[in-house]
């Protein structure tokens, strides 16, 4: 690392009065260390590290360390090579009394936290082709720490979404164009800011360390390349027949994240064949998983759901109950639905069809068999060949009873 000069201000010089006092503190020196690196967290926290070299004689010394007003004093930490700390006086700037054990050039490292002092967000450009998508991501960084930051190493932390579990389990190296990933599958916690509620939970954090050194002007938004990668995709058409009886289907693309780092959640501009399509929200996508994105409605498939048959039967029955014989009317109703699918494509299409039935329904027949079924939902995963016409048919029955006895 290239050493940085330390700004020195001599505040007070006390001459030694006797040889036995030579080891006592001779001067108080104010130092301002240049910023070496900043780490920006999702909630506005900025962790700052400053470093520099200073020639110091052996013995006791006092240093007033310049710390920004927005720094959290409880987080200030000073480390000096070949030195021990006798005491720290916390005034407007902390005053350190150090014992230097070896004269010469000493390394000074200062770190602290600054709340609500920086933000960053990812933005995406997604360029769709037939079987892959070019994912370009930039990091937009805003420095609100009270000073311009020049020639600093920049790290950006992406927090794991609450509904997503840590994945995968092993540290790996990054494969990004202008960023390398310090992959931290460690649990990181820090003191909550006084004006922010603490969750009491540890979160898994992912750290992007940008290549080279950056300049961050105060109170300006600055964009930096984060990563760029061509990723494979699968096109899926989805049709909720219970809500859209005549379609259309939604075209959805599922993009596989083949990078070693996650894709943080952020705004994405979607393009197809170089033309703008829409602005969407890129979901948080761990490495090795898929991001599901709805491109929009599609006329590639012609879809229709119709009630093809309905019948109702009633039967009067006498039943025995603990209270005696009862007369009831049993009503059976059956519905038969026909779902037609016609492809307008010259290629094979994957279609997911969902439909709903009443919770009290009993299935009488269904063809083809659904791939997934719950008490109220049927779901088919179909492969529709070019220009193919196909259908889904099912019948369910609902039985109810009515008492015909008069109540006295």
What pLDDT is stored for residue 16 in this prediction? Answer: 36
Q: Where is the domain boundary, 63, 85, 114?
A: 114
| 322 band by pLDDT with thresholds 50, 70 and 90 | confident
Cβ-based neighbour number of residue 53 at 10 Å: 16
| 163 band by pLDDT with thresholds 50, 70 and 90 | very low
In a domain, 18, yes or no: yes
In a domain, 150, yes or no: no
Q: Which residues of 234-273 are buried (b: 16+ CB within 10 A; e: fewer)?
A: ebbbbbebeeebebbbbbbbebbbebbbbbbbbebebbbe
Q: Which of 3-17, 90-104, 234-248 has the lowest mean pLDDT?
A: 3-17
| Mean pLDDT on 101-127 | 95
* CATH assignment of the domain containing 381: 2.60.40
| Mean pLDDT on 188-213 | 54
What pLDDT is stored for residue 26 in this prediction? Answer: 56
CB 321 within 8 A of CB 272: no
In a domain, 84, yes or no: yes
Q: Which of 54-63, 83-92, 170-179, 295-304 has the lowest mean pLDDT?
A: 170-179
Q: Between 199 and 257, where is the model more confident?
A: 257
What pLDDT is stored for residue 24 in this prediction? Answer: 53
In a domain, 342, yes or no: yes
Q: Where is the domain boundary, 95, 114, 133?
A: 114
Q: Between 99 and 91, where is the model more confident?
A: 99
> Does residue 274 carry a pLDDT above 60?
yes
User: How crowded is the C-beta side of 50, counted as CA atoms within 13 Å?
Assistant: 23
| 407 band by pLDDT with thresholds 50, 70 and 90 | low
In a domain, 377, yes or no: yes
Q: Which of 111-120, 185-194, 338-347, 369-378 has the lowest mean pLDDT?
A: 185-194
Cα–Cα nearest to 126, from 233, 258, 19: 233
Residue 377: give the domain boundaries: 302-403
| Mean pLDDT on 337-357 | 96
Q: What would the two tokens of residue 139 be?
A: 């990091």
Between β-strands 275-282 and 187-188, what pairing exists: parallel, antiparallel or unpaired? unpaired
> Does residue 241 carry a pLDDT above 60?
yes
Q: What would the two tokens of residue 223 be?
A: 């964009």
Q: Where is the domain boundary, 82, 114, 146?
A: 114
> Does residue 44 carry a pLDDT above 70?
yes
CB 369 within 8 A of CB 405: no
> Does residue 408 carry a pLDDT above 60?
no
What pLDDT is stored for residue 9 in this prediction? Answer: 39
> Does residue 402 carry a pLDDT above 90?
no
> Does residue 141 carry a pLDDT above 50?
yes
Question: What does the chain come to in residues?
Answer: 408
Q: What would the two tokens of residue 316 be?
A: 């009067």
Distance of CA 291 to the CA centre of its chain: 12
Structural domains of the chain, count:
2
- What average pLDDT does the structure give for the chain? 83
- Read off the pTM: 0.69
94-98, 328-332, 359-363: which is most confident: 359-363
In a domain, 91, yes or no: yes
Contacts of 278-285 with CB under 8 Å at 24 or more apart are 282/122, 282/124, 282/126, 284/160, 284/161, 284/164, 285/255, 285/257
Q: Is 10 exposed, middle or buried (0-12, 13-18, 19+ CB in 10 A)?
A: exposed
CB 316 within 8 A of CB 271: no
Question: How many Å apart are CA 88 and CA 27, to the nearest integer?
Answer: 16
| 307 band by pLDDT with thresholds 50, 70 and 90 | very high
């Amino acid at each position: 690392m290239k050493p940085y000069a330390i700004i020195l201000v001599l505040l007070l010089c006390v001459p030694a009065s006797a040889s036995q006092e030579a080891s006592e503190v001779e001067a108080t020196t104010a130092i301002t260390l240049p910023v070496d690196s900043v780490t920006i967290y999702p909630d506005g926290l900025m962790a700052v590290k400053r470093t520099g070299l200073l020639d110091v004689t052996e013995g006791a010394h006092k240093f007033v360390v310049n710390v920004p007003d927005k720094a959290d004093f409880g987080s200030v930490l000073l480390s000096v090579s070949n030195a021990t700390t006798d005491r720290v006086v916390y005034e407007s700037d902390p005053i350190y009394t150090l014992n230097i054990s070896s004269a010469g050039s000493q390394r000074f490292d200062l770190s602290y936290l600054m709340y609500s002092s920086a933000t960053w967000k990812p933005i995406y450009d997604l360029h769709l082709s037939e079987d892959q998508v070019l994912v370009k991501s930039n990091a937009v960084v805003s420095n609100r720490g009270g000073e311009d930051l020049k020639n600093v190493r920049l790290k950006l932390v992406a927090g794991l979404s609450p509904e997503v579990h840590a994945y995968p389990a092993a540290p790996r190296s990054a494969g990004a164009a202008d960023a390398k990933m310090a992959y931290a599958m460690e649990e990181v916690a820090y003191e909550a800011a006084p004006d922010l509620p603490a969750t009491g939970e540890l979160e898994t954090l992912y750290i992007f360390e940008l290549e080279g050194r950056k300049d961050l002007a105060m109170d300006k938004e600055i964009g930096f390349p984060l990563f760029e990668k061509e990723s494979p995709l699968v096109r899926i058409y989805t049709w909720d027949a219970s809500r859209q009886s005549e379609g259309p289907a939604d075209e959805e693309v599922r993009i596989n994240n083949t990078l070693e780092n996650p894709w943080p959640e952020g705004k994405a501009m979607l393009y197809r064949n170089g033309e703008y399509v829409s602005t969407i929200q890129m979901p948080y996508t761990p490495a090795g998983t898929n991001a599901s994105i709805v491109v929009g409605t599609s006329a590639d498939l012609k879809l229709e759901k119709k009630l093809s048959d309905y019948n109702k039967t009633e039967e009067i029955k006498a039943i025995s109950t603990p209270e005696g014989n009862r007369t009831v009317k049993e009503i059976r109703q059956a519905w038969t639905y026909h779902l037609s699918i016609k492809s307008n494509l010259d290629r094979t299409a994957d279609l997911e069809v969902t439909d709903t039935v009443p919770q009290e329904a009993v299935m009488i027949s269904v063809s083809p068999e659904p791939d997934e079924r719950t008490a109220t939902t049927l779901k088919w995963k179909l492969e529709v060949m070019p220009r193919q016409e196909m259908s889904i048919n099912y019948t369910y029955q609902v039985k109810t009873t009515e008492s015909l006895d008069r109540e006295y």
